[in-house]
Amino acid sequence: MIAKEYRKMLENKSAIRELSEFATARGKEIGYENVFDYSLGNPSVPVPQSFTDTCIRLLQTQDPMTLHGYSPSLGNPYFKEKVAESLKRRFHLPYTAAHIFPTSGAAAAVAHAVRCVTEPGDEVLTFAPFFSEYTPYINQSGAVLKVVPANTETFQINFSAFEAMLNEKVMAILINTPNNPSGVVYSTETIQQLAAILEAKSQEFGHDIYIISDEPYREIVFAGVDNPCISQYYANTLVCYSFSKSMSLPGERIGYLAVNPACKDAETIVQMCGQISRGIGHNCPSSLMQLACAEVIDETSDLSVYETNMNLLYEALVEFGFTVVKPGGTFYIFPKALEEDAVAFSNKAKKYDLILVPGDGFGCPGYFRMAYCIDTEKVKRSLIALRKFVETEYPSF
Amino acid sequence: MIAKEYRKMLENKSAIRELSEFATARGKEIGYENVFDYSLGNPSVPVPQSFTDTCIRLLQTQDPMTLHGYSPSLGNPYFKEKVAESLKRRFHLPYTAAHIFPTSGAAAAVAHAVRCVTEPGDEVLTFAPFFSEYTPYINQSGAVLKVVPANTETFQINFSAFEAMLNEKVMAILINTPNNPSGVVYSTETIQQLAAILEAKSQEFGHDIYIISDEPYREIVFAGVDNPCISQYYANTLVCYSFSKSMSLPGERIGYLAVNPACKDAETIVQMCGQISRGIGHNCPSSLMQLACAEVIDETSDLSVYETNMNLLYEALVEFGFTVVKPGGTFYIFPKALEEDAVAFSNKAKKYDLILVPGDGFGCPGYFRMAYCIDTEKVKRSLIALRKFVETEYPSF
């Protein structure tokens, strides 16, 4: 008999996927260039040419048995070293290769991290609005995800709700800054306050509480925004990183788990990842991708388009009367819908070929997400549709 | 607190890994060319040039956003279609893209398959000798692996032991043919008998029993050997395939799960894999690798060296008086050790720079594995060391 749990999951179709499918179908009718598809977080700028050149050079010059050979179970040593050197240089923490575990993107890094620091039944807290995939990531590990309600004023942390939910069963806090879907970056003040609470509670509960810091948008931070390095403020931090967004490589599934050198049992945790991998069939990202990323470790795609798009959208949304927190990074913005039911709001927007994702799936009903990883020219055209949508559907607003 | 289970696993160092590390260290003393390292199953022939050329062409000509973009959650449609077409053509079964789920090698395919067809606490049976990684693959899913003792006469299935162990809790049978470590290929007769028993027992127990068929060595079968296609004989078959051995791409982590079109709920099982992936952070193999493998789907590396090496070794082992079943495929051979304790035997062999893996880890004490994916010239030189080892250590043999 096939497993009930996974079969049942099939019934819950992802809202984002349904909207994206709608956008594709509508695109076939009117031309996709006329669909203002803000549904998917797919990078819209190419990988750096240096990455492509490096892949080609490796394929042309390296011994194929080495190039495509098994990575050691803890990952390719050269990749680990290059990542550690880069983190050390940039964040002034004594990373070595022994703190780095290569993973198939940030998703696999989170899957490993949660298994490292929880036993089945333990709780993991995250903060709304949150990336909806955290629910399967955490719950399938055997731990239980609990969501702290949003601070909708700023999309920083709602500390009073957080402290009320902290209890002895909480072993890890899963944070995502810069945040999907709000685009907000947690400030130094937020991180300091979070760290102080966790230190006090670790002492009180008599066990460590870990921060699992999901950071795929680390490199997409806008001018003048305070973007603190979590590991500088809290010892027991496991960073989950991906090259998907910074290098526009989402399909190549390459990222890493970086355990803070100051974390208790740091090197043991990396070694445990090797054991966890055996059970979930992970066994490292592609060897070619590890070697190519190692060679261009400090490069990113030209990410400037995201800030341009954000400014255009933010100014228009404010002008049209939306309540919206200005994003500090990512390629998302998360305004308040113009009626209480964001699903109804999003459905009405479809009539104007605007594809907006309701916030319900992100634990924040009444808001909606726009993923502005699209051409700036299209963002500009979408503003006309957005104005028409607001004026027609919400005339009294 | 870090998870006890994975921490504990760190204490059990892999025997293969320890031997491989010994071989590397010894190689630094006397030159690796003088160490007869039969420890690791790493392919020793290069990937086909056509694969390398295809990768380079894709990198030079394709839009990088498409080439490196997210795969749909059920995998790249082009890859799935090419795999299905190839399987259909070769095995005369009506595969379509809907039966194929791309995975990070056969390891991830097994990890998905077992989660599809078992609930926690269910049993999975496998047959000794067996690939030792099956223990973490199965047990970390929540199911329980039970090992049927070997038929050491032929290394086909020990059916009487198997039937004694079949019970209502058994939901899947995990087989591996061509087999690591024995090199034996299950005959048509074996598969027919297995299928008949499972059909009868499925009826008796009132639930389906699945075959999970781990087939990374499918393409490495020697002249004249009967190599039946399991799905032709048993409907509820999930095939786990990898390009690691056939194309010498183990580090690229590319393979697939192919659900037999005749399997009950075949397409639902593939869809469930997409849900399972969310929880284990898998999210498809590298997009470049999916596209490149699709283009050269029916090619293999030049695998003939493995048969040459097998014949050399088999003849020498027989001549030296070993009890050994002739392999039908793979790059492994699994002779009986010359004393009861294969670990002691393997330790003595080290003095002759022969690296042999004791069979204990494969569920078959008293035997040892040789992975002959090495240069033929080195196999020839190793025979001199092997003769010396036998004559010196086991003079009365």
Residue in B closest to A50 by C-alpha: B59
Q: Is B140 an interface residue toward A (CB < 8 Å)? A: yes
Chain A residues within an 8 Å CB radius of B282: 104, 107-108, 280-282
Same domain? B270 vs B121: yes
Cis peptide before B178 (omega within 30 of 0): yes
Residue in A closest to B64 by C-alpha: A46
Same domain? A111 vs A41: no
Please give the radius of gyration of chain B, using alpha carbons only, rounded to the nearest integer.
Answer: 21
Record: contact B281-A141, CB cut-off 8 A = no
Closest CA to B45 of B299, B384, B353, B241: B299
pLDDT for residue A283: 80
Each residue's pLDDT tens digit, A93-105: 999 999 999 999 9
Each residue's pLDDT tens digit, A167-182: 999 999 999 999 999 9
Please state, in angstroms and as integers, the Cα–Cα distance from residue A118 to each residue in A121, A142, B2, B12, following that order.
8, 8, 6, 21
Model confidence band, residue B237 (pLDDT cutoffs 50, 70, 90): very high
Residue type for position A112: H
Task: Give how many domains chain A has, as a whole number.
Answer: 2
CATH number, domain containing residue B362: 3.90.1150.10
Distance (Å) from the C-alpha of residue B318 to the closest C-alpha of chain A?
32
Same domain? B177 vs B256: yes
Chain A residues within an 8 Å CB radius of B107: 278, 281-283
Is it the case that residue B282 has pLDDT exceeding 90?
A: no
Percentages helix, strand, coil for chain A (3-state, rounded to 5) are: 45, 15, 40
Average per-residue pLDDT in chain A? 96
The rounded distance, in Å, linking the Cα atoms of A295 and B376 is 35
**What is the mean predicted confidence (pLDDT) over A306-321?**
98
Same domain? B100 vs B227: yes
Same domain? A222 vs A361: no
- Compare CB distances from B286 to A137, A141, A253 and report the shortest one's residue: A253
Each residue's pLDDT tens digit, A151-166: 999 999 999 999 999 9
Each residue's pLDDT tens digit, B138-157: 999 999 999 999 999 999 99
Q: Which residue intervals of A166-251 are DSSP H helices?
A: 188-205
Q: Which of A271, A295, A319 is the last residue of a domain?
A: A295
Residue in A closest to B56 by C-alpha: A56
Each residue's pLDDT tens digit, B16-33: 888 988 999 999 999 999
Closest CA to A374 of A15, A14, A27, A134: A27
Record: contact B112-A284, CB cut-off 8 A = no
Record: contact A272-B7, CB cut-off 8 A = yes
Same domain? A8 vs A148: no
Chain B residues within an 8 Å CB radius of A17: 73
The SS3 of residue A228 is coil
The rounded distance, in Å, linking the Cα atoms of B371 and B359 is 12
The rounded distance, in Å, linking the Cα atoms of A317 and A369 is 12
CATH number, domain containing residue A168: 3.40.640.10
Distance (Å) from the C-alpha of residue A56 to the closest C-alpha of chain B?
6
B256 strand-pairing partners: B102, B241
* Domain ranges, residue B267: 49-295
Distance (Å) from the C-alpha of residue A387 to the closest C-alpha of chain B?
30
Q: What is the b/e burial string over A28-42, where b = at least 16 CB atoms within 10 angstroms of the residue's CB?
A: eeeeeeebbbbbbbb
Record: contact B70-A42, CB cut-off 8 A = yes
Please state, in angstroms and as integers, the Cα–Cα distance from residue A149 to each residue in A60, A155, A356, B117, following that order.
52, 10, 22, 36
pLDDT for residue A97: 98
Q: Is B112 an interface residue toward A (CB < 8 Å)? A: yes
Q: Which of B261, B280, B295 is the last residue of a domain?
A: B295
Chain B residues within an 8 Å CB radius of A253: 283-286
Chain A residues within an 8 Å CB radius of B139: 279
Record: contact A287-B252, CB cut-off 8 A = yes
Each residue's pLDDT tens digit, A104-129: 999 999 999 999 999 999 999 999 99
Q: Which of B267, B295, B323 is the last residue of a domain?
A: B295
Record: contact B104-A288, CB cut-off 8 A = no
- Compare CB distances from B69 to A17, A118, A251 and report the shortest one's residue: A251
Each residue's pLDDT tens digit, A378-393: 999 999 999 999 999 9
Same domain? B130 vs B249: yes
Same domain? A92 vs A32: no
Same domain? B148 vs B287: yes
Model confidence band, residue B211 (pLDDT cutoffs 50, 70, 90): very high
Record: contact A286-B285, CB cut-off 8 A = yes
Same domain? B181 vs B39: no
Q: What is the ipTM of this complex?
A: 0.95
Same domain? B214 vs B281: yes
Helices and strands in chain A, H and E counts:
14, 12
Same domain? A97 vs A208: yes
Residues 320-379 of B with CB under 8 A from A: none
Record: contact A111-B139, CB cut-off 8 A = no
Is it the case that residue B12 has pLDDT exceeding 80?
A: no
Each residue's pLDDT tens digit, B322-379: 999 999 999 999 999 999 999 999 999 999 999 999 999 999 999 999 999 999 999 9
Each residue's pLDDT tens digit, A274-301: 999 988 888 899 999 999 999 999 999 9
User: B61: exposed, middle or buried (C-beta count within 10 Å: 0-12, 13-18, 19+)?
Assistant: exposed
**What is the mean predicted confidence (pLDDT) over B267-285?**
92
Closest CA to A198 of A157, A240, A228, A144: A157
Distance (Å) from the C-alpha of residue A34 to the closest C-alpha of chain B?
20
Record: contact A252-B3, CB cut-off 8 A = no
Residues 300-319 of A with CB under 8 A from B: none
Is it the case that residue B135 has pLDDT exceeding 80?
A: yes
